């Protein structure tokens, strides 16, 4: 009788029997997340995030402007961003570009930098 009681208690407390509660769905898109990424290395902890509704993978590239007006790549920031739009920001001494994607897993790795 005690065994039957224990089995019924476990069955009631574990409604997702046999499935991991952290199991990802087949359509869930994953993105890299790093505060300071430069030339293939993360100078922070490289983690990942999964996209929620209205989110995209994002890469923010930061540049330093020289006296002649050239942009020199400094570093990137990788993240998941809500309502993301591709934008270029230009200041007097800095330039930043925001690139968004959600077409495949880990699509926010910077190309060519």
| pLDDT tens column, 79-92 | 999 999 999 999 98
Which pLDDT score is estimated for 60?
Answer: 96
For residue 106, what pLDDT band results from cuts at 50, 70 and 90? very high
Give the burial string for 35-58 (b: 16+ CB within 10 Å, else e): eebeeeebeeeeeebebeeebbbb
């Amino acid at each position: 009788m005690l065994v039957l009681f224990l089995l019924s208690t476990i069955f009631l407390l574990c409604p997702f029997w046999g499935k991991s509660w952290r199991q990802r769905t087949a359509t869930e898109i994953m993105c890299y997340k790093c505060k300071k990424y430069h030339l293939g290395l993360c100078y922070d902890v490289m983690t990942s995030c999964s996209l929620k509704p209205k989110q995209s993978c994002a890469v923010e590239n930061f540049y330093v402007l020289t006296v002649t007006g050239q942009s020199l790549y400094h570093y990137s920031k990788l993240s998941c961003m809500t309502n993301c739009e591709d934008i270029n920001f230009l200041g007097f001494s800095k330039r930043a570009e925001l690139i968004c994607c959600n077409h495949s897993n880990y699509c926010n790795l910077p190309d060519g930098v």
